[in-house]
Amino acid sequence: MKLLVICLGNICRSPMGEGALRARLAASSLAGRVEVDSAGTSGWHRGQAPDPRAIACAARHGVDIAGLRARPLQHKDFRHFDYILCADARNLDDARVLAPPDAHDRAVLWLPWAGIAGASEVPDPWYGDEADFEHSWALLDAAAQATVQRLADTVESGIIGP
């Protein structure tokens, strides 16, 4: 299984989501069986490290994302990844514009796809403060936990190979 986490610039939500998902997967029976990456629907921050506030937020939760680098979502990502997990509806729309017609269903809103009740989007903390980053982290980490459970259930069904 291959998952790509998406936000606008790939410096806040998607690297935090990638870090949370990697950490949750590493601590599960799926360790080493799921590929995770992140990208942005814009190329504004190509090659840049995550926002220092995102790095600090993830670090407070024991996750190191400092080595990640921003990259834009590419057409070929829709062939490589099984799911494009979008932080919000705007990024979902932008991702689907780039998607080949037969791959639109690969791009999804991450929170509903993961089964998170009561929230459909991860708010962008860029203009906020530490509390906004913590709120986004809480949603992303919940989505990561639910994603691991969803994939573990799929593995148990025999759909994903060893």
Q: Tell me if residue 22 is catalytic.
A: no
Bin 74: left if φ > 0, else alpha if -120 < ψ < 50, else beta: beta
CA distance 156 to 110: 22
* Calpha distance 16→69 (Å, rounded): 12
Task: State the CATH number of the domain containing residue 68.
Answer: 3.40.50.2300
Q: What's the domain count of the chain?
A: 1
Phi, psi of 147 (to 5 degrees): -65, -45
Domain annotation covers residue 143: yes
Q: State the catalytic residue, choosing from 51, 77, 124, 141.
A: 124
Extended beta strands in the chain, E state: 2-7, 35-40, 83-86, 107-109
- Residue 155: pLDDT band (50, 70, 90) is low
At 159 the pLDDT is 44
Give me the catalytic one of 12, 13, 53, 77: 13
Strands 35-40 and 107-109: unpaired
Residue 95 lies in a domain: yes
Q: Is 12 a catalytic residue?
A: no
Q: Is residue 162 domain-resident? A: no
The pLDDT, as a whole number, for residue 158 is 52
Range of the domain at 93: 2-155
What is the percentage of the chain residues whose pLDDT exceeds 90?
93
To the query of whether residue 141 is one of the catalytic residues in this protein, the response is no
Mean pLDDT of the chain: 95
Residue 160 inside a domain? The answer is: no
